[in-house]
């Protein structure tokens, strides 16, 4: 059984999506997968998201809350970070480690139980490929809905190696997670949801990101 199968109980096919229900195994896999550079890479993601003190931040598909715990001290003391994940065990893991200004809820990115325009920044790392393909557009529209006008979006996804053999090897180990490029995965979903795409780029160890704005008017 590959690591991908262990982590993605319900996700043998990339279009189906599925939760991760083994937080400790996920944490271990992430530390190994990012070659010991996870903290550095996620600190860069936090900086790229443009979060500032006082911001209200939402992390969609927050998993174990790793990124929320990096964001929490940046927005402190007045800001707060909310994490949403479809997996109860992941949310429970995140809650047990939560700084005072973080809260979590079990829920799906495509149907957020959150008010309109309540966030300054929405981030989502490595989670869109877990949302069923047919629901990804709805998830982007939900991110748009909960952002205030002028609010900022950061989506980070896996970027498979360009070397074909290496890409196949990584796909075998990781399962469906790393078989699609972020462009295949996201297509025009971000602008179609109403966002203005600002820029996109790559980060070390197989990540790509897109930054976008909810227009002010």
Ligand X SMILES: C[S@@+](CC[C@H](N)C(=O)[O-])C[C@H]1O[C@@H](n2cnc3c(N)ncnc32)[C@H](O)[C@@H]1O
Q: Look at phi and psi of residue 150 and say left if phi exceeds 0, alpha if psi is from -120 to 50, else beta.
A: left
Smaller CB separation from ligand X, 135 or 216: 135
Smaller CB separation from ligand X, 60 or 121: 60
Closest residue to ligand X, Cβ-based? 63
Neighbours of 48 (CB within 10 A): 17
**In this structure, are residues 201 and 41 in contact, taking their beta carbons and an 8 Å threshold?**
no
Smaller CB separation from ligand X, 78 or 88: 88
Residue 12 has which token pair?
Answer: 């043998």
- Closest distance between ligand X and the C-beta of residue 163, in Å? 23
What are the C-alpha distances in Å from 17 to residues 43, 77, 129, 169?
A: 26, 36, 6, 21
- Closest distance between ligand X and the C-beta of residue 169, in Å? 19
In terms of Cα–Cα distance, which of 217, 215, 209 is closest to 47? 209
Question: Mapping DSSP to helix (H, G, I), strand (E, B) and coil, where does residue 8 land?
Answer: coil
- Closest distance between ligand X and the C-beta of residue 86, in Å? 4
Going by C-beta distance under 8 Å and a sequence separation of 6 or more, which residues neighbour residue 106? 84, 85, 86, 87, 88, 91
- Closest distance between ligand X and the C-beta of residue 168, in Å? 20
Smaller CB separation from ligand X, 96 or 196: 96
Could you list the residues that contact ligand X (CB under 6 A)? 17, 19-20, 30, 60-63, 66-67, 85-87, 90, 108-110, 125-127, 130-131
Smaller CB separation from ligand X, 101 or 124: 124
- Closest distance between ligand X and the C-beta of residue 197, in Å? 21
């Amino acid at each position: 059984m590959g690591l991908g199968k262990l982590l993605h109980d319900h996700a043998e096919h990339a279009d189906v999506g599925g939760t991760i229900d083994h937080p400790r195994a996920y944490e271990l896999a992430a530390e190994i997968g990012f070659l010991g550079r996870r903290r550095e890479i996620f600190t860069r993601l936090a900086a790229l998201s443009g979060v500032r003190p006082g911001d209200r931040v939402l992390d969609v598909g927050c998993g174990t809350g790793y990124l929320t715990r990096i964001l929490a001290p940046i927005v402190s003391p007045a800001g707060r970070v909310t994490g949403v994940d479809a997996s109860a065990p992941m949310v429970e893991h995140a809650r047990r480690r939560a700084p005072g200004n973080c809260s979590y809820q079990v829920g799906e990115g495509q149907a957020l139980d959150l008010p309109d325009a309540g966030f300054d920044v929405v981030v989502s790392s490595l989670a869109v490929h877990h949302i069923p393909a047919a629901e990804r557009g709805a998830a982007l529209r939900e991110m748009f809905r909960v952002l205030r006008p002028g609010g900022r979006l950061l989506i980070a996804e896996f970027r498979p190696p360009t070397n074909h053999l290496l890409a196949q090897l990584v796909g075998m180990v990781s399962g469906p997670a790393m078989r699609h490029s972020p462009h295949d995965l996201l297509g025009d979903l971000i602008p179609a949801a109403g966002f203005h795409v600002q820029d996109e780029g790559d980060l070390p160890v197989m990540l790509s990101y897109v930054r976008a704005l909810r227009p002010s008017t």
